[in-house]
Amino acid sequence: MTEISPGIANLLAQGKNARNKGDISQAVASYQLAVTEAKQLNDKVGEATALLRLGVVYRVSIQDLTQARSFLQESLRVCEDIGSDEARASVMCELGSVAFQEGHYVEGLDWHTTALNIFRQYENRLGQASVLHQMGLIEKRQGDFDSAERHIKESLLIFEAANDEASIGQVLLSLTSIAVNQHDYEQGRILSHRALAIFEKLGLSQGVLKAKNNLTFIEKHRG
């Protein structure tokens, strides 16, 4: 893979900054401009990346899953043109998340399993961790709590080894949910407090809110 051209990298950074600030319309505008200019420059890596970012924004922030899937499928096509397996795996992981949110659990697991195999082939540990976490979320929704807990704990070990604190916090929230579903409120309380400490340290307000909401729910049901 070649490097992303400076102009496209700048637009991608602008989009990321806008999204972090909650300015979703500006994020979309920056990413769409990045796609247009990348096509003009024949910057396939920049084009694939911008399309992936658009897919994530439409899935997570706008929650338009049809449009998200469209952007991601186009990103996957460009990744295939480039010949980058790891880039393909990143897009597949997102397509798996779209399928999950649509309620297509088998499709979601299929995308994630394929992505996981690619990340393992290239020894991409953080890629593996992300996919394992997402697989666990699907398995939890299916009621397979043993598989869900196993995969999510495996992802936690990888994120801890990489000292990726934001991801650790998110995984702890997922493990909290599993503990609560199994009525293990004490374990849920411990996990939520760990997540809360991380999110407060990092200044991640949404994570703080989720962890506090979990603790409120747990205290209410502990008896």
Q: Could you say which of 83, 103, 121 is where a domain stops?
A: 83
Q: What is the mean pLDDT of residues 55-81?
A: 97
Do residues 104 and 128 both lie within one domain? yes
Do residues 75 and 8 both lie within one domain? yes
Q: What is the mean pLDDT of residues 162-190?
A: 96
Domain contains 176: yes
What range does the domain containing 58 cover?
1-83
Domain contains 180: yes
The pLDDT-based confidence of 2 (bands split at 50, 70, 90) is: low
- The count of domains in the chain is 3
State residue 21's pLDDT score: 84
Do residues 133 and 171 both lie within one domain? no
95-104 b/e with 16+ CB inside 10 Å = b? bbbbbbeeee
Q: Could you say which of 29, 55, 83 is where a domain stops?
A: 83
Domain contains 57: yes
Instruction: Give the chain as a 3 state SS string.
Output: CCCCCHHHHHHHHHHHHHHHCCCHHHHHHHHHHHHHHHHHHCCHHHHHHHHHHHHHHHHHCCCCHHHHHHHHHHHHHHHHHHCCHHHHHHHHHHHHHHHHHHCCHHHHHHHHHHHHHHHHHCCCHHHHHHHHHHHHHHHHHHCCHHHHHHHHHHHHHHHHHHCCHHHHHHHHHHHHHHHHHCCCHHHHHHHHHHHHHHHHHHCCHHHHHHHHHHHHHHHHHHC
pTM above 0.85, yes or no: yes
The CATH number assigned to the domain holding 40 equals 1.25.40.10
Domain contains 158: no
Q: What would the pLDDT profile of 136-159 be if each residue is shown by its tens digit?
A: 999 999 999 999 999 999 999 999
Do residues 77 and 100 both lie within one domain? no
Do residues 52 and 24 both lie within one domain? yes
Domain contains 71: yes
Domain contains 171: yes
Q: What would the pLDDT profile of 72-129 be if each residue is shown by its tens digit?
A: 999 999 999 999 999 999 999 999 999 999 999 999 999 999 999 999 999 999 999 9
Q: What would the pLDDT profile of 7-54 be if each residue is shown by its tens digit?
A: 999 999 999 999 888 899 999 999 999 999 999 999 999 999 999 999
Do residues 103 and 36 both lie within one domain? no
Q: Could you say which of 83, 107, 124 is where a domain stops?
A: 83
Q: What is the mean pLDDT of residues 196-216?
A: 94
Averaged confidence pLDDT in the chain: 96
